[in-house]
A = this chain, B = another copy of it.
Amino acid sequence: MTPDIAPIPHLDLPHPEPGDLKLTQVLFAFSDPERLAIVRQLASGPLDMAQCHLSDASTPKSTKSHLMKVLREAGIIRNEASGRGRRLTLRRQDLDARFPGLLACVLADTPDGAP
Contact = CB atoms under 8 A, between A and B. Distances in A.
A36 interface: yes
Q: How many copies does the complex hold?
A: 2
B109 A99 contact: yes
B24 A27 contact: no
Interface string A14-30: 00000000011101101
Interface string A64-102: 000000000000000000000000000000000001111
Given A99-B109, A105-B100, A31 B36 contact: no
- Majority SS of interface residues in chain A? helix
A16 B24 CA distance: 23
A16 to B, nearest CB: 13
A101 B96 CA distance: 13
22 contacts: A23-B106, A23-B109, A24-B31, A24-B32, A24-B33, A24-B36, A27-B27, A27-B28, A27-B30, A27-B31, A28-B28, A31-B31, A99-B105, A99-B108, A99-B109, A100-B105, A100-B108, A101-B104, A101-B108, A102-B102, A102-B105, A102-B106
